[in-house]
Chain A
């Protein structure tokens, strides 16, 4: 059973470009979470999704950030018009129905130049 997969592992974008981060949960997991780890800071919750639904987006910046978890395919975290302050490691986690233990992917390290 493959773990949580994220791609790309490293992403470089210039200011103003769009960044798309992908997360494939573990098999059988229907809950996906995104967290961000800024340099020299702890991990912060961003958004919690189930298939086709955003359950809690209280940690998402109000502008430029969006997330989806379609019926088919991976979850996508999209950052429009990136700025240098978006440079961070973005982690995805998943959990199965009825179980709160979260399993983390290897992360995507975004660098904005």
Chain B
């Protein structure tokens, strides 16, 4: 059974800093891994999806990496802005079930 853990649970940084969010998973037979953003009271916005055959994906100031052997993924945010404040969730898709297993999220606050 897949389990996904995110560290830290909360993070506060000053504007302009580069930061890394961590995600670990127990089942290395992962099909893909998605990073999402969730604003308070809102839905999920997909940020990046990394297929199991890929090592990283980039979109603007965001870069996500995947290391299946160690069961880890990271989300790197460059030059953080107050608008980046949100909860960031990682989720792994395993096997044929097509169900995403979510971590509990990292609540990010970027201070102006």
Q: Mark A65-78, 1 if CB is under 8 A from B, else 0.
A: 00000000000000
Question: CB distance A100 to B46 under 8 Å?
Answer: no
B residues near A (Cβ < 8 Å) are: 31-32, 34, 36, 41-46, 49, 89, 91, 93, 97-105
> Chain A: how many interface residues by the 8 Å CB criterion?
25
Do most interface residues of chain A lie in helix, strand or loop, or is the interface mixed?
A: strand
CB-defined contacts of A109 to chain B, threshold 8 Å: 41
Query: Is B32 a contact partner of A105 (Cβ separation < 8 A)?
Result: no
Chain A residues lying within 8 Å of B34, measured Cβ to Cβ, are 101-102
Which chain A residue lies CB-closest to B51? A100
A91 touches B97 (CB 8 A): no
Please measure, in the bound complex, the distance between the C-alpha atom of A58 and the C-alpha atom of B45, giving whole angstroms. 25
Contacts of A28 in B (CB 8 A): none
B100 pairs with A45, CB closer than 8 A = yes
Going nearest first, the 7 A-B pairs with the smallest beta carbon separation are A45-B99, A106-B43, A104-B44, A43-B102, A42-B104, A42-B102, A107-B43
